[in-house]
Structure 1
């Protein structure tokens, strides 16, 4: 039986998991459009079979329209949208400025929703398609130092669930991927909350210890290529689950929350860790 070749658009594909996805999905024979906010000289000239980089800023309606129109013109369809683009923000919730809060929601939530809304009509016309949201264990469990990032992932979880309960009517599948930490350079692009930059800073030591802790976790994290291969298997499987955890750690986190309905145990675990950071 011949495998069906799919046209796939990936957001945030210039680094990390998005970079791995673009390579692994194209190597499997799928036609991949790798969206990047700013194309490097190398990406513009890149010549890899089945892989094409395309300019895409998911916070810009004109950029989204241009990207989708180009793909539809070239391929006549979009089979799969992978909402991967996201930015990070570290520090307690009250340490972020209003602009930082707006920026992280603009990219992680509204950007993903905007491009999803633009792709859905094409999938409805096709009466087929798949929308994959890259969530995180941060979309299952928040933390003292990653609260706003978690808030955006919780929002993604809610949006995806709602879409999954309606879009099936047009044979459009929706799914959520929940990786744990991955061995990427995520920390290199993290913003720190700057609300207290001109005030007395109550979190200076805490924030630095949070960064050190996160770097340690990422260093021990799952290889993004491994996560990409799990996603490849998922999109090639018509009958796969709605929600996919990518390793044992993320499965443990998911099960822990199912077994702690009042949240008391999880809160106490976090408190005990955080006390040592002040």
Structure 2
């Protein structure tokens, strides 16, 4: 996501493949249908003279209600894609990035020093978050359905959130800084905002992600942003969004401790649990 991140990819065409640790990046996956509860009313019977009267409404069993966020729409954007590295011409193609800028369609992302790629990490975490949200009756839309394809381009990813009329769009990434001692997460948001959704709603989403990540045991970045937040003008997925949107860089894949956490299934579940809780808190606010 930041300028210091680089991934090593063969230069297959004359145009060099632009590598960045993160950027905002297949058509949305079909959203899981919310659980529908059906109430079955038994056939009334005539009570005998000795039968007790039916319970009053106040003494009957508690009525179940849908979770506060049920029916909401969340778009999850796992950064990059597994096939990007072998399609340099496609991902180097310039696309609109907002604020009069253009950017490459997509990038390869970064990796740990041992070679665990960002695209695999983000896809795994997004799937975990999506399953947890769907279980609460939230409609989940993904910007890509697998980890073997190419793209989609960053402008298309923003369009998916806009077309879904998402109540929240969360882009999931990991950073790749080689700065000595660089570690921690940060959450990026569009600033100055280009529309109303990028104002208070997106700022509140970013702050909720930051606060929940911190209370979940993750440390804010010590090398970028301030207090875990990073105002950005250069990210297409943020610039082009007309829905509340934020991008979370879960940590630095080049830091040994954070790389170990990201590489383990247990660690990825910890990241997913924090992001899930943040989204739920935002939707309920």
The TM-score bracket by the shorter chain reads 0.3 to 0.5
Tell which has more relative contact order, 1 or 2 (C-alpha 8 A, sep 6+).
2
Q: TM-score, normalised by structure 1?
A: 0.38
Q: Pick the structure with greater CA Rg.
A: 2
- Structure number having the greater helix percentage: 1
Q: TM-score, normalised by structure 2?
A: 0.37
